[in-house]
Structure 1
């Protein structure tokens, strides 16, 4: 007897051989795009989770911002009459404090995502909180952002040379100074600079962001005044930041110096400076680029103590003032901006590193 084959309709096609959708086929042909889409989806989930945690954390803090507002009105406008129930209810609705905590959360996320509205600011009522933050943001970016970039550049250059010329006197001095001063707080260095250059020598101003006698604008007088007044706080940040980058760059440079490709490059007769910049440093700067991108995200937090010390009108000063007056909308706004900046910096780094280094293949 011979076995008969089963009917054609009874044969089932394995799931693996079934035709895939055009979308899946396109993603399979473009692995980098598939990775970018997955990473962006994870970024959105992380952003939503962080914003949610920040909202509930600050809303569950003790204190009543409405009573703080009423007391401010009484002090500033000689408002001695007890506020009526209708006025308090209107303020609670305007500040998003009416209803239970979950209703407040849904209303907050709707205004934030759809309208970009954080609600009114208590420290500058009735100005919206996002306007108060945007007024302070350029000062923080100008001070901390530029200082962070300069510290990174100086630290990479000095640290690479210190690692390349290890054992030399200059390398030993730079390394020991970095070990001693890299963990000194910014505000402590700022106090020393203020005492020396502002009070003892009288060369630089100690407080404010510009000369109050000059009208703000794109004039040379105003720009020069901003640079003069921002020199001391920027210098305190650049000094300590540079020492930190020197240590980390030297730590990355020293192990690379014994690699075979550097010995081969030297045997070919290449100049030491070319070997340093084209070969050794290229294998050290990728971790530093990652660290720098993350540190740039944190500039929106502001260096609170430095800004307070110099009375600098940045986000740090705004955040301290908002905390003192229980301005939840401004506090959450500054926190949300810090969260957004850090997560966005990490996302951009994850997307750019495969382009900077062909060895990085996240999507495989």
Structure 2
């Protein structure tokens, strides 16, 4: 038999189909991790836009007129001219982005936010921009709640792992029962007890403010020492309850792992118990804790409102409460936007880092 060659058109068509395609889609096909990162970042932008939009319309629909609040403040300060009331109101409505319908206000707000990073003036300290008021409070919240969150996570992870590893022992039982009893106690209740004991009864620590008013703020040993001293009570009240919560969750993840075959094999190899705990058992438990910790870090930008109010701490929580009382929409939306941005960004970074922390996690397949 004599083999017949296929038509030239068929050969050309098959070679064109079998040849590797070029362009962006082909590059993404060869780099699945980059394709996943791009898709996840695109979803992050859509989520961020949607959340910011919902927050804007929600606060704009709250009843109340911030301009009238500002006018009343001006009247109390004797700087308000009744004859120029209409001109003042129109000018303030334009500066605060309240002129026109709600959709034109939204477009103007998004333009100023995205292109200029401008939230508009703040009623709390007019004409200071709202972003300046927020940035003045943000370091206090990050310094207090951020450090407390990190410390509580580390302590909870270590103590919870040991409590799960030594389950059935007296120390583990006491730690577990104490955590169950105190994990859901409100922060402010613990703060009240600490204030009563250490501030009013013993007089060891200050009960209010972020630093001593007699010390000028600056990079000095006296100021830093005063800040740390004033942060002990609010920080410890947050860290204490947070630690008990992390202890419970870590122990819950640790106990089921202890019966796995790979731990029995590691013990049979003669490895030391501490090495088995840290390198084998805990390594398979900390992944959910890393995820939960990343999400909790995003929420610290909200500030713990009640704790900050109790200690008169100048963080975002105190700023948010004051802004709500004065209907300062620009500052309220600004604090909310920071919370939204921080939570969504924390989730995005976790989604991108988890495949690097655990090779078993491969979202792109």
CA change 1:47–1:86 in 2 (3 A) is same
Partner of 1:89: 90
Partner of 1:222: 223
Contiguous gaps of at least 5 residues in structure 1 = none
Per-residue deviation, residues 324-359 of structure 1 (Å, max 9, x unmatched): 000000000000000000000000000000000000
Q: Would you say the 8 A contact 1:308–1:316 is kept in 2?
A: yes
**Alignment map for 1:327-346 (pairs within 5 Å):** 327-346=328-347
Q: Would you say the 8 A contact 1:70–1:83 is kept in 2?
A: no
Q: Secondary structure at the match of 2:218?
A: coil
Per-residue deviation, residues 302-341 of structure 1 (Å, max 9, x unmatched): 0000000000000000000000000000000000000000
Partner of 1:160: 161
CA change 1:203–1:49 in 2 (3 A) is same
- The 2-side partners of 1:16 and 1:309 are apart by 70
Partner of 1:256: 257
- The 2-side partners of 1:167 and 1:133 are apart by 49
Offset of residue 13 of structure 1: 7.0
- The 1-side partners of 2:288 and 2:186 are apart by 24
- The 2-side partners of 1:231 and 1:251 are apart by 30
Partner of 1:170: 171
Structure 1 vs Structure 2 CA RMSD: 1.9
Q: Would you say the 8 A contact 1:293–1:349 is kept in 2?
A: yes
* 1:135 and 2:133 matched: no
- The 2-side partners of 1:7 and 1:228 are apart by 85
Partner of 2:53: 52
Partner of 2:192: 191
Per-residue deviation, residues 74-109 of structure 1 (Å, max 9, x unmatched): 112353736521110000000000000000000000
CA change 1:170–1:17 in 2 (3 A) is same
**Alignment map for 1:1-364 (pairs within 5 Å):** 8=9, 20-77=21-78, 79=80, 81=82, 83-364=84-365
Per-residue deviation, residues 249-298 of structure 1 (Å, max 9, x unmatched): 00000000000000000000000000000000000000000000000000
Offset of residue 12 of structure 1: 7.3
Offset of residue 22 of structure 1: 1.7
With the length of structure 1 as denominator, give the TM-score of the two structures. Answer: 0.96
With the length of structure 2 as denominator, give the TM-score of the two structures. Answer: 0.95
Offset of residue 55 of structure 1: 0.2
Per-residue deviation, residues 211-267 of structure 1 (Å, max 9, x unmatched): 000000110000000000000000000000000000000000000000000000000
Q: Would you say the 8 A contact 1:141–1:299 is kept in 2?
A: yes
Contiguous gaps of at least 5 residues in structure 2 = 1-5
- The 1-side partners of 2:78 and 2:256 are apart by 67
Q: Secondary structure at the match of 1:133?
A: helix
CA change 1:68–1:27 in 2 (3 A) is same
